[in-house]
Amino acid sequence: MNEGLGPEKRLKKKKDFEKVFQKGNVTKNEWFIAKYVENDKDFARVGIVVSRKFGKAHVRNKFKRYVRETFRKMKNAESVDVVIFPRRELKKEFERITFEEFSNALKEFLKKEVFRSEKVEL
């Protein structure tokens, strides 16, 4: 059984990213920046942007894996396109934190700032 985050739930096309960057709202906390805009789908989609300044390739890939896995586990997410960026403060902590700490922080951030809904299950 395939439990991964399917391609339909990821932002991949340039036009989808441009729509989020041009029309989207921005919200931040101490570790993440999220740009988001409503979409016409029945589910949420995620895009991830990680600068080379965040770290070497294996660190950037680990961040992307953590975001995708966290997003995959969220249930009943509304129809929103979200692009997630790490903040400089997270770079300092990222090698020391566990997946659970990262995931809980991202879920709380998304639930509070982006989805703003009580029906989103963590």
Label residue 65 by pLDDT band (50, 70, 90).
very high
**Is 45 strand, coil or helix?**
strand
Domain ranges of the chain: 8-113
More confident residue, 74 or 19: 19
What pTM was computed for the model? 0.88
pLDDT value at 118 more than 60: no
Beta-ladder partners of 26 = 35
pLDDT of residue 21: 94
Per-residue tokens: 9: 């739930």
Per-residue tokens: 92: 């300092």
pLDDT of residue 51: 94
Q: Please state which CATH number belongs to domain 8-113.
A: 3.30.230.10
Please state, as a whole number, how many other Cβ atoms lie within 10 Å of the Cβ of residue 101: 11
Q: Share the mean pLDDT of the chain.
A: 88
Rounded average pLDDT over 22-32 = 93
